[in-house]
Amino acid sequence: MAQSLRRVTILDLAAAKRNRRPLTMVTAYDWPTGLLVDASGVDCVLVGDSVAMVVAGRSSTIPATLEQMIYHGEIVARAAARAMVVVDLPFPFQHLGVRTAIESCARLLKETGCQAVKLEGTAGQADVIAGIVAAGIPVMGHVGLRPQAVHQLGGYRMQRDIDAIMADARAAADAGAFAVVLECIPQDVARSITESVAIPTIGIGAGPACDGQVLVLHDLVGLSMDRVPKFVRAYADAKASIADGLSRWRHDVEQRTFPGKTETLG
């Protein structure tokens, strides 16, 4: 049966939580990955600021700029016809006051065609989330390990301040976020949050009790150039496949077996 092309909305995500249907979200950064991730049938495509790490080879997400997120967001939003496309608000726009945050999120929506923004924040950013939501922009929160705060958190490590994590997730929900990413937190904490907030929780390194799961595409398909976190399961070996193709092509050129008759035009 042909898959309907109706766009996934925040109402579908809320219904999934009510019906206990697990949600799926994967990152994409460009035209081919946007097309492939959307075609896989996931609920959400995330244009993550992880683009700075997995695409640009930076050591954190901090260097990602608003212009870069708009550039990648616009490409992915054009590629994805069915999934809800969520784009990351890069550092530090959620910390510059409600007005600047609204202006930045409005640019992300207007100039990319994405349907929602994700922002990392603690309970301290509740007023910012509330302001963006009041402007009619759907917000996905992101608590626990907040990669933009990696230097303050002392590295990419499991977050164990249970009270703070619970308070941050509840604050995001109370402020009007439609979903919240829980990153690198103990599974019992993720379960408690999932049971106590009305919005869907989407986990990464947060165990199986979340309402959904998210992974970085390059980790999922074995294309990451850096150390892969322990919570990742790779479902393909894209790096080996690409390396093999490249080395066979080089070999064939050196042996003068490429191009052959069928690849020669005249």
Contact positions vs ligand KIV (CB under 6 A): 27, 46, 48-50, 61, 88, 181, 204, 214, 216
Find all residues with CB under 8 Å of 69, minimum gap 6, and list them: 47, 49, 51, 87, 88, 89, 90, 108, 112
Closest alpha carbon to 90 in 72, 115, 113: 72
* Closer Cβ to ligand KIV, 131 or 148, answer by number: 148
Find all residues with CB under 8 Å of 202, minimum gap 6, and list them: 23, 25, 44, 140, 179, 180, 181, 182, 210, 211, 212, 213, 214
Does residue 192 contact residue 143 with C-beta atoms inside 8 Å? no
- Per the residue annotation, which of 183, 195, 254, 263 is the catalytic one? 183
Residue least distant from ligand KIV (Cβ): 48
Does residue 199 contact residue 17 with C-beta atoms inside 8 Å? yes
* Closer Cβ to ligand KIV, 57 or 134, answer by number: 57
Active site residue 183: yes
Does residue 67 contact residue 74 with C-beta atoms inside 8 Å? no
CB of 96 to ligand KIV, least distance (A): 19
CB of 255 to ligand KIV, least distance (A): 41
CB of 75 to ligand KIV, least distance (A): 16
* Closer Cβ to ligand KIV, 6 or 233, answer by number: 233
CB of 117 to ligand KIV, least distance (A): 12
Report the helix count and the strand count for the chain, using DSSP H and E.
11, 8
Tokens linked to 12: 């579908």
* Closer Cβ to ligand KIV, 143 or 262, answer by number: 143
* Closer Cβ to ligand KIV, 10 or 216, answer by number: 216
- Give the chain's radius of gyration (CA, Å): 20
Distances (CA, A) of 102 to 83, 85, 90, 136, 151: 24, 18, 13, 10, 26
CB of 114 to ligand KIV, least distance (A): 14
Residues with a known catalytic role: 183
